């Protein structure tokens, strides 16, 4: 039995490692599965702790480090934390900027870039595990040498479909679910598209607003156009699992800032078709015309090489074309229950037996662990 110390965050994707570890692997410290249902998206305490720790690393002009002194066979570090100590380790990342707390400006520091490269080239670093192909490409922004390329393996996150087995709520009209920010996550575009659709379609929108909220006048004006349930988050995940996902017929998140988009996988686990954007990892998650529909975003936070551009202004961008594509895509799904069922079923297959399944993730993760210990 291989003992792996799992240094993880609170994100639900790590909960599936505790509940469904690879064969022959025991995670330390030993803990019972559970807790993902109580996780709150963007809780204030979590955000404050992250700001303090990342501020500390920024002052020192170093990447994120974590000391792991417990004896084990291997450390699995998450979110770009480089492991200090004697243990060999693997590290998963959603983007090269994970090593600096997603503060893309910090990658301009030559000192920080050199420290990241040195850590990844070291013999103790057995594998680098980006969450997607787009993240793998971004690693080359800092680390281009063959030693690092050869130990980089994409392992997609997985979802525990058992958490999403609630009975679907029946409603008189189709329900669209959105969660995220008003600008970068596409909330503005969704509300504008649905306002246009309301002239010809009957539907309901559940809008879970996170961090950057729409102006109050926008919410009130929109409510006058169609049935809008507006929820200002954060909310416990239990609400998502018990009420919001089961109520949805279509999941829409036209993001142009996410590095992955775990919510798409959660929607697929509920058999819900998704509408997303041609942005970073989203085309790897949503197979266009199979598990959902992709639209072109008004801009993308990342360029083709994965470089983040914090100077971009999402508020000022012209989103006319995106709104039109979004409107037409939602219209197609609203008009055809058959299409919704087909795409929802294919999405469910993808997370149960396909590339986002626990079985496939565990197979690749076991290979990564074993390969790291053979180095």
φ, ψ at 261 (rounded to 5°): 115, 60
Examine the pLDDT at 322 and tell me if it is beyond 70. yes
Helix (H, G, I), strand (E, B) or coil at 262: helix
pLDDT at 44: 62
User: Distance between alpha carbon 297 and the CA centroid of its chain, in Å?
Assistant: 17
Examine the pLDDT at 339 and tell me if it is beyond 60. yes
Examine the pLDDT at 136 and tell me if it is beyond 60. yes
pLDDT at 255: 98
pLDDT at 140: 84
Q: In the structure encoding, which two tokens stand for residue 30, read together?
A: 């030993």
CA-to-CA distance for 224 and 3, rounded, in angstroms?
A: 57
Would you say the C-alpha torsion 256, 64, 234, 334 has a positive or negative sign? positive
pLDDT at 253: 98
CA-to-CA distance for 156 and 89, rounded, in angstroms?
A: 18
Lowest mean per-residue pLDDT among 151-155, 306-310, 357-361: 306-310
The DSSP line for 211-242 is SSPPPHHHHHHHHTTSEEEEEES--BHHHIII
Residues whose CB falls within 8 Å of the CB of residue 45, separated by 6 or more in sequence, listed in order:
none
* pLDDT band per the 50, 70, 90 thresholds, residue 34: low
* pLDDT band per the 50, 70, 90 thresholds, residue 31: confident
Q: Mind listing the pLDDT tens digit for each residue in 149-174?
A: 999 999 999 999 998 887 788 888 99
Return the closest-CA partner of residue 122 out of 154, 90, 95: 90
The residue to which tokens 């993902």 are assigned: 36
pLDDT at 11: 86
pLDDT at 365: 98
- The domains located in the chain, with CATH, are 2-158+357-374 (3.40.50), 161-352 (3.40.50.2000)
pLDDT at 39: 52
Do you find a cis peptide bond into 28, omega within 30 degrees of 0? no
* pLDDT band per the 50, 70, 90 thresholds, residue 50: confident
- The greatest distance separating any two alpha carbons of the chain, rounded to the nearest whole angstrom, comes to 64
Q: Mind listing the pLDDT tens digit for each residue in 275-284?
A: 999 999 999 9
> Are 91 and 125 contacting, i.e. CB atoms less than 8 angstroms apart?
yes
pLDDT at 42: 53
Helix intervals (H) in the chain: 12-19, 44-60, 110-121, 133-139, 146-149, 187-197, 216-223, 237-239, 245-247, 262-269, 282-285, 320-335, 337-352, 358-374
* pLDDT band per the 50, 70, 90 thresholds, residue 45: low
**Mean pLDDT, the chain, as a whole number?**
93
Q: Mind listing the pLDDT tens digit for each residue in 184-217?
A: 999 999 999 999 999 999 999 999 999 999 999 9
Mean pLDDT of 214-231: 97
* pLDDT band per the 50, 70, 90 thresholds, residue 43: low
> Are 79 and 92 contacting, i.e. CB atoms less than 8 angstroms apart?
yes
pLDDT at 53: 82
Q: In the structure encoding, which two tokens stand for residue 238, read together?
A: 């239990």
Mean pLDDT of 296-311: 91
Q: In the structure encoding, which two tokens stand for residue 19, read together?
A: 């509940």
Q: How many CB atoms lie within 10 A of CB 224?
A: 9
């Amino acid at each position: 039995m291989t003992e792996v110390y799992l240094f993880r965050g609170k994100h639900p994707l790590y909960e599936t490692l505790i509940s469904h570890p690879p064969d022959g692997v025991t995670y330390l410290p030993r803990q019972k599965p559970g807790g993902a249902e109580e996780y709150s998206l963007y809780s204030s305490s979590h955000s404050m702790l992250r700001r303090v720790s990342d501020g500390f690393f920024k002052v020192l002009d170093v990447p994120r480090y974590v000391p792991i002194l417990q004896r084990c066979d291997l450390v699995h570090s998450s979110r770009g934390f480089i492991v200090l100590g004697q243990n060999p380790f693997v590290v998963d990342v959603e983007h090269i900027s994970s090593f600096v707390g997603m503060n893309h400006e910090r990658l301009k520091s030559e000192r920080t870039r050199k420290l990241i490269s040195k850590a990844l080239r070291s013999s103790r670093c057995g594998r680098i595990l980006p969450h997607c192909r787009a993240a793998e490409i971004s690693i080359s922004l800092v680390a281009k040498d063959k030693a690092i390329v050869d130990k980089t393996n994409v392992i997609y996150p997985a979802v525990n479909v058992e958490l999403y087995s609630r009975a679907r709520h029946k409603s008189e009209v189709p329900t669209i679910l959105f969660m995220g920010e008003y600008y970068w996550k596409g909330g503005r575009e969704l509300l504008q598209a649905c306002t246009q659709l309301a002239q010809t379609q009957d539907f309901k929108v559940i809008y879970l607003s996170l961090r950057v909220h729409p102006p109050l006048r926008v919410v009130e004006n929109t409510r006058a156009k169609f049935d809008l349930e507006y929820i200002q988050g954060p909310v416990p995940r239990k609400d998502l699992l018990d009420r919001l996902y089961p109520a949805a017929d279509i999941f829409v998140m036209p993001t142009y800032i996410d590095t992955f988009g775990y919510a798409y996988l959660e929607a697929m686990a509920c058999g819900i078709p998704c509408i997303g954007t041609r942005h970073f990892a989203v085309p790897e998650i949503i197979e266009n015309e199979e598990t959902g529909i992709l639209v072109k975003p008004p801009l993308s936070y990342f360029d083709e090489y994965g470089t983040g551009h914090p100077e971009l202004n999402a508020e000022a961008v012209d989103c006319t074309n995106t709104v039109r594509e979004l409107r037409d895509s939602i219209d197609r799904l609203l008009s055809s229950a058959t299409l919704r069922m087909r795409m929802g079923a294919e999405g469910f297959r993808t997370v149960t037996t396909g590339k986002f399944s626990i079985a496939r993730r565990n197979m690749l993760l076991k290979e990564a662990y074993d390969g790291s210990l053979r180095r």
